[in-house]
Amino acid sequence: MQTRKLGLNGPEISPIVLGGNVFGWTAGETESFRILDSALDLGLFTIDTADVYSRWAPGHEGGESETVLGKWFAKGGRRNRVLLATKVGLEMGEGKSGLSARYITQAIDNSLRRLQTDHIDLYFTHHDDPKTPLDETLEALDKLLRDGKVRWIGASNYTGARLAEAMEASARSGLASFVCLQPHYNLVARKEFESDLLPVVEKYGLGVITYFSLAAGFLTGKYRRGMDVSNVPRGRTIAAKYLNESGFAVVDALTEVAVTLQSTPSAVALAWLLSRPGVTAPIASVTRVSQLDDLAAAARLQLDTTSLQRLNQVSAPA
């Protein structure tokens, strides 16, 4: 499986990034270990998580995903085979959020402890923090790099204007700069990335790792017209965004292309992202080992011109 260069100054990563949001949540520890072992065997060596995963689940406090990964690393022989990404900034409790220097210094040590490692390969600011000056955040991240706790830094959930401002602030102050952006981007959510973020990504040579690459499962084809999703995890959120005629038209096209190419809607949706300007790799999560086959297939799948035109047209932003 061929690797991909993450922007001008970033590392080589796997063409599909394994999402760690499910570890310790919808995938228990034992199954998470099996998924992680199998992913490495398939060449999917880049893993994305965050300190806040899975704070949203009843009875969870955040840090569950990092803790599972730390236990897996502790089994031996795996940490040096993985390019590990995690994030900081979303709320982890009262007074535990944002991108101040004080909080970043605290949060990185907590993540390293849970992950049972001495460094993070790619450390993301999980969300822009307008209350903290960009220079303060960048100085704190620069120190983490100089201390060896982090190897590269990235940004997530920034507007194009704020991302450009951060890149200019790094250059002006001689501080380390972001090598990567992690945006929300997929076949049913194109407009914001393509119109606002892509020009900035291309100007500064940033890598792009997309999240919600399968629209929280919608682009797998498992949701159908008229289906009751009220009891499905994330169902109400998905329904508000995607369960409409334009969304189902995209799924219909995905299914048609998948049948033609003897593939699956999931693999086609990920392969479409891999074909897009600016995109380095999509993130995708699985809750069962068998689902990894679609991720590996997506990395190999080459979409023909007719298939790309069909998907581009049906998903074009209004």
pLDDT in tens, the chain (318 residues): 899 999 999 999 999 999 999 999 999 999 999 999 999 999 999 999 999 999 999 999 999 999 999 999 999 889 999 999 999 999 999 889 999 999 999 999 999 999 999 999 999 999 999 999 999 999 999 999 999 999 999 999 999 999 999 999 999 999 999 999 999 999 999 999 999 999 999 999 999 999 999 998 899 988 877 777 666 665 556 656 888 889 999 999 999 999 999 999 999 999 999 999 999 999 999 999 999 999 999 999 999 999 999 999 999 998
Please confirm, yes or no, whether 53 is among the known catalytic residues.
yes
Burial tier of 222 (Cβ tally within 10 Å: 0-12, 13-18, 19+)? middle
Burial tier of 225 (Cβ tally within 10 Å: 0-12, 13-18, 19+)? exposed
Q: Collapse the DSSP code of 155 into the 3-class scheme (helix H, G, I; strand E, B; otherwise coil) and give the result.
A: strand
Active-site residue among 53, 123, 158, 204? 53
Question: What's the Cα-to-Cα distance from 208 to each of 67, 201, 281, rounded to whole Å?
Answer: 26, 8, 7
Nearest to 186 by CA among 93, 317, 85, 289: 317
Is 48 in contact with 95 (CB distance < 8 Å)? no
pTM of the model: 0.95
**Domains in the chain and their CATH numbers?**
4-217+264-303 (3.20.20.100)
